[in-house]
Amino acid sequence: MTAPQLRHLEPKETWDLLQATPDAVLIDVRMEIESMYVGRPPHSINIPWYEFPDFEADSDAFVAAVKHEVKSLDQTVVLICRSGSRTLDAGKALLDVGFTRVVNVLHGFEGDLDANDHRSTVNGWRFDGLPWGQM
């Protein structure tokens, strides 16, 4: 039997999954300030992969916080960050402790940089016009 793998979905596919899976948990792994001021998907739970000023991940603390939000390791956990990079490490940390349904949102909330170093103009959650709000 092969170990569970991180599943990668485009933002619109992720939105469809969230609508079809009511018990799925959407975890925003960005720093709290990013999530608050840049915006976040509805019903997302902010559990930063790392935080200011250290910018160092504490995978044990992250995993413990996610475990606190789920009923079982088989519950669908969807991870989103700014561009889909931090979620790769966060997803691996969850899979390493036994989570079986972990989803990475490709391109994240803000998406890739364009030619002018701007985000939300090429791809990502906001670019795709999915629901979001900000403080």
Per-residue model confidence as pLDDT tens for the chain (135 residues): 678 999 999 999 999 999 999 999 999 999 999 999 999 999 999 999 999 999 999 999 999 999 999 999 999 999 999 999 999 999 999 999 999 999 999 999 999 999 999 999 999 999 999 999 997
User: How far apart are alpha carbons 72 and 12 in whole angstroms?
Assistant: 25
pTM across the whole model:
0.96
pLDDT number for residue 2 = 79
- Structure tokens belonging to residue 92: 């691996």
- Structure tokens belonging to residue 15: 């939105």
pLDDT number for residue 20 = 98
Query: Could you tell me the strand order of the sheet in which 45-46 lies?
Result: 7-9, 102-105, 77-80, 25-28, 45-46
- Which pairing describes strands 7-9 and 25-28: parallel, antiparallel, or unpaired? unpaired
pLDDT number for residue 3 = 84
- Structure tokens belonging to residue 73: 């390791």
Judge contact between 28 and 35, C-beta under 8 A: yes
- Ranges of each domain in the chain: 7-105
pLDDT number for residue 129 = 97
| Other beta carbons less than 10 A from residue 7's beta carbon | 15
Which residue's entry shows tokens 């791809």? 123
Q: Is 77 helix (H, G, I), strand (E, B) or coil?
A: strand
Domain 7-105's class?
alpha beta
